[in-house]
Structure formats: structure tokens, C-alpha cells
Amino acid sequence: MELSYYPGCTLKANAKNFETSALAILQHLDVTVKELEDWYCCGVCFSQTQDNLMQQIAPVRTLVKAKESNRRQLLALCTMCFNTLKRAIEFIKNDKEKRDTIHQFMDREDTKFYGDEVEVIDILTLIRQIGLDKLKAAIVKKAVDLKVASYYGCMLLRPQEIAIDSPDDPVIMEEIITHAGCENVYFPFRTECCGSYQIVSEPEIVRERARKIVGSAVKNGADLMVMLCPLCYYNLDEVQRDIQEEDATFQPLPVLYFTQLLALLMGLKPDLQDFRLHAIDPRPVLKRKGLL
């Protein structure tokens, strides 16, 4: 299995743990990913504003590159990139007029993109395609009674047209966790928005959200929380430190990228992960549960 890979900016900066662990488990599962040459920012939230076509150029250019790579699938690890690219495909496929305008603007590109040539895929769907049995076979470590809270956030589930699972009651993360030999903790805020970019101007919104989301997972007995979005990760990991400062009774919960946990369970070298990057140190829990 071979597919193109789009890392996005954050995975090369703040979310290095995500990239190293994800690439390691994919290699372990015999999947070859080829990083796109000369890629640039996906466009992030800018391209999601409705009326400015200019801002769709970035994701469309990326999709053109993916098409030129002649590989059908394009893996986007960062869920924000996934969301942006996937929505760009929807818009290219469904709005002929705007597509024509973009094509006219992009007159230096030799390749035109029409929407169906590239499939943007997230790592959860990819793991499902690789096969849950194959995943199960790759798990070598047995976590001791590890209760995992899977947090989806918004980007994989909304809007409905690009959702990888039921937007209201998804199961895909829990399904993989089960196959990896851990116990799932259901908590009602697993699809709740983390507060996103409000962290920049209205951080108290994010603090209130983080308190609610983390508190609910802790209440339901979680030992740690896993997720796939670098922004959610920041809002739920870093912000816990702020909450701790103002509230000594707050019970923190270590946060890991989904792929970090899988890499540990597969027995891949722990040193490929830099646990110093975590605001809430996950090492005590991981040691207690036999993963370190």
C-alpha cells in the first residue's frame, strides 16, 4: 500500500510527536507514505470563509500536486488540513462556476483538478482500510487495564458532507481502541468543540470548554485522552496547565495523539516520542499501565 502524504505546518512544528508516531506505525503496518514535494500551508480556516475564492487556491494547489503524484490517496494527518482539503474537493466537485474561475486563475498549472482524482484520507479511515485484524496482530504490548477516552473534536465530523463517521455518535476511534486491546471510556463531550481559535482572543471560552471536556472524561474513569487534532491537543493539553494554576482541585488528564498510543502498544521505540512536549506529563500513567 502506497499513498501520498501531506503533513501540514503544525506537524513539522508543535505536533512533531504526532508525525513521528504516525509515520512509525504506518511503516510498521507496511504502508508506504510519500510526502508531497514542495507543499505549502493547506489554507487553514481562511479557505473556509465562503465568498473569497482566492483563499481556495492554497488547498486546490495542494490537490493539484497530489494529482500530479499519480497516487490516488492523499493522507492528511492533521485534522484541520484534512477538513480544509476535503471541503475544497467538495466545492470543486459541486460548484462548476467557481471551479472554472479557479481554473482560469491558475493558468500556470499544467494540471487541472476536478475533484474525483484524489481521495483525501484521514488516518482512522486508513487504519480501517489496512484492516483491524492486521492492526490487532501488530499490537505486542498489553496495557494494564488502560481506560482510554477518545476525543473527536469537530474537524473529522463536521460538516456532515465530509464526516468520516456519524457526526453525532461516531464509533471509529473506539473500534480501533478496542482492537488495540484497551478499554473505551464513553464521555458525552467527545464530539464537542474544544473552542478552536478562540484560544487567541477569548481564552476563557477554551478554558471553560477544556474543563468540561476533560472533567467529563475523568469523571467517566479515563486514564488518558487521545485525539488527532493539533489544535484540540493544544487547547486540551496546554490549557489544563492554566486551569491547574487557577484551580488547585482540578484533576488533570494526560493527552496523547491517537498514534502515540498505538505506537506504544506496538512496542515501537518510545524515544521516537518526545514526552517533554506534553504540558501534562503522560509518563506516570504510561508507566503505571505498563507501556513505558
Q: How is residue 36 annotated by DSSP? A: P
Asked if residue 133 binds other proteins (CB under 8 A), the reply is no
Using the rule CB under 8 A, give the single segment among 70-78, 108-116, 165-173, 281-289 that binds other proteins: 165-173
Per CB under 8 A, the list member of 169, 202, 204, 274 interacting with other proteins is 169
Contacting residue, 167, 181, 252, 270, with other proteins by CB under 8 A:
167
Minimum distance between the CB of residue 150 and other proteins, rounded to whole angstroms? 15
Report in angstroms how near the CB of residue 193 gets to other proteins at its nearest.
12
Residue 168 interacting with other proteins (CB under 8 A)? yes
> Nearest approach, Cβ of 168 to other proteins (angstroms)?
3
Question: Is 188 a residue that touches other proteins (CB under 8 A)?
Answer: yes
Q: Is residue 90 involved in binding other proteins (CB under 8 A)?
A: no
* Residue 109 CB burial class (10 angstroms; 0-12, 13-18, ≥19): middle
CB of 51 or CB of 168, closer to other proteins? 168
Between strands 32-35 and 73-76, the pairing is unpaired
Is residue 236 helix, strand or coil? Answer: helix
CB of 157 to other proteins, least distance (A): 10
Q: Within a 10 A sphere around the Cβ of 137, how many other Cβ atoms?
A: 11
CB of 160 to other proteins, least distance (A): 8
- DSSP assignment letter at 3: E
User: Cβ closer to other proteins: 8 or 195?
Assistant: 195
Q: Alpha carbon of 197 to those of 19, 46, 55, 231, 234: distances in Å?
A: 22, 12, 18, 8, 10
Contact between 166 and other proteins (CB under 8 A)? Answer: yes
Burial 244-279 (b: 16+ CB within 10 A, else e): eeeeeebeebbbbbbbbbbbbbbebeeeebebeebb
CA distance 208 to 239: 10
- Residues near other proteins (CB under 8 A) are 160, 166-169, 188, 219
